[in-house]
Amino acid sequence: MKVSRMSIETKGQSMAIHAITQEGRHLARRIQTRHPLADLYVKTRDDADPLEAKYREYGLIDGKMLKTLRENFKKYDSLVCIMASGIVIRGIAPMLESKYEDPAVLLLDEQGRFVVSLLSGHVGGANEYATSLAQELGAQAVITTATDNKGVLGLDMLAKGAGCVYEPRKVLSEQFNMLLAEEQVIALYNEPQLNLVSTSGYQIFKNLPDVNELLDYAGFVMISVRMNALDTYRKKLPEDYALAQLVPKKYVLGVGCRKGVDSEVLSANFRTFCLEHNFLAIGLTKIVSIDLKKEENAIINLAESLNIPFETYSKEDLLEFEDFYPGSNFVKQTVGVSSVAQTSVHKETGEFVLTERYANEGVTFALGKYQ
């Protein structure tokens, strides 16, 4: 199952610092002392120039910087490169995938006067980190992203700050970020009242805006987990009007099922469950169940189709919450606890269970939300 990269500012994120010259190596060590979990990759001259463990120094792979950059591009969440831009560009060019997969890449001169956000400025966090590192070094951050330079928040950064996802990411990011860079104002409705750190470039509506109100704005963003949240607007607004739905990725699905249930039966009932609750499945972060189901292929397949992890709890973990929810004597006799879907969600979220138990064809579901 695919694991997403951690964002640049996430605690514990991995960093590799690269330097070729001695002057660059001195600067790399200055940075490493402020980021003690970072690894240094440096070019040594001879035996009189040993690698120092206290700086977590490593030699270049096969003595080559280009090879080192390419290997580390796949291993680390951020790369700091103290060298000429041409070396870095030649090194990473064959490795580029997308702004959602590539690590943050920062470029510095040997004197530490400039910190350039070279790659993954928004989603990877390179812009934010370049600004932070420049402040640490007394340097000048160089940010070329249009929305950042205009002091407005790109759609991708709005979503990232709110813990949301949206599709299609590339198309909508380009459409909205161009409007924002041109200083067009975007209407925003925050249905779940998420805490938004910044909304620069957006006009917030406390209530759902009328279609006619939106004609005064260049686009409309709604934060909502509802399936049909934008249907009315799509029908009534001009076809080329910019619309985006940000879906909070804060939800957990509890699953129970009979042993050996068919994958299509489970998936079909999951679709019905989502329809009944008007819920977009991309808002899910995890599936949970009892540990007796950890090898249940239907649940594993559902988790893989949603690209989310599947985790389980022991009977003892779930018994603590059994009395809170209606249960089944048959399930109790089979797995040792009368309710699996709701108790699993309760355990995972700390009691924030949002739905009654769905039960059909030997399948049960419940939905919860992280607070």
Q: Is residue 292 part of a domain?
A: yes
Least confident range from 36-45, 229-238, 299-308: namely 36-45
Please tell me whether residues 256 and 241 are part of one structural domain: no
Amino acid occupying residue 125: G
**Residue pair 255/311 in contact by the 8 Å Cβ criterion:** no
Structural domain range at position 89:
15-144
pLDDT, tens only, 85-112: 999 999 999 999 888 889 999 999 999 9
Q: What ranges in the chain are assigned the alpha helix state H? A: 22-34, 65-75, 85-92, 126-137, 146-149, 155-162, 169-181, 211-214, 231-236, 263-276, 297-306, 315-319, 329-335, 341-349
Copy the structure tokens of residue 274: 């989502």
Q: Which of 3-17, 36-50, 127-141 has the highest mean pLDDT?
A: 127-141
Residue 7 pLDDT > 80: no
Last residue within a domain, chosen from 101, 125, 144: 144
Confidence of residue 2 (pLDDT cuts 50, 70, 90): very low
163 and 139 within one domain: no
**Quick one: 133 and 173 in the same domain?**
no
Q: Could you tell me if 334 and 232 lie in one domain?
A: no
The domain that contains 275 carries what CATH number? 3.30.420.180
Residues 140 and 20 reside in one and the same domain: yes
Cα 242 to Cα 179: distance, rounded to the nearest angstrom: 9
Find, among 163, 143, 246, 154, the residue nearest to 202 by Cα.
154
| Residue 2 located in a structural domain | no
Same structural domain for residues 210 and 238?
Answer: yes
Residues 189 and 282 in one domain: no
Q: Which residues contact 110 (CB under 8 A, 6 or more apart)?
A: 21, 23, 24, 27, 82, 83
91 and 164, same domain (yes or no): no
CATH number at residue 19: 3.40.50.11220
Average pLDDT, the chain: 91
Q: What is the pLDDT of residue 11?
A: 36
Q: In terms of domains, do 232 and 309 share one?
A: no
Q: How many domains does the chain have?
A: 3
Structure confidence at residue 10 (pLDDT): 38
On whether residue 342 sits in a domain, the answer given is yes
For 12-25, how does the pLDDT look when each residue is reduced to its tens digit (9 = 90+)? 479 999 999 999 99
Tokens coding 364: 């049960």
Looking at the structure, do residues 212 and 273 belong to the same domain, yes or no?
A: no
User: pLDDT for 33-82, tens place per residue?
Assistant: 999 999 999 988 766 678 999 999 999 999 999 999 999 999 999 999 99
Q: Can you tell me the distance from the alpha carbon of 292 to that of 335, in angstroms, rounded to the nearest whole number?
A: 7
Residue 196 has pLDDT above 90, yes or no: no
**Is residue 10 one of the residues assigned to a domain?**
no
Residue at 229 is within a domain = yes
Handedness of CA 78, 80, 85, 91 (dihedral sign): negative
Q: Are residues 162 and 118 in the same domain?
A: no
244-275 per-position pLDDT tens digit: 999 999 999 999 999 999 999 999 999 999 99
Q: What angle do CA 118, 124, 125 make, to 5 degrees?
A: 80
| Mean pLDDT of all residues in 166-184 | 93
With contact defined as beta carbons under 8 Å apart, do 181 and 152 qualify? yes
Residue 6: predicted pLDDT = 32
Final residue of a domain: which of 248, 265, 300? 248
pLDDT of residue 101: 87
Regarding whether 281 and 222 lie in a shared domain, the answer is: no
Domain boundary among 201, 222, 248: 248
Tokens coding 208: 């759902």
- At residue 370's C-alpha, the angle toward residues 364 and 371, to 5°, is 140
Residue 313 inside a domain? The answer is: yes
Whole-model pTM over 0.85: no
The reply to whether 315 falls in a domain is yes
Residue 270 lies in a domain: yes
Q: What is the mean pLDDT of residues 350-365?
A: 95
107-121 tens-digit pLDDT: 999 999 999 999 988
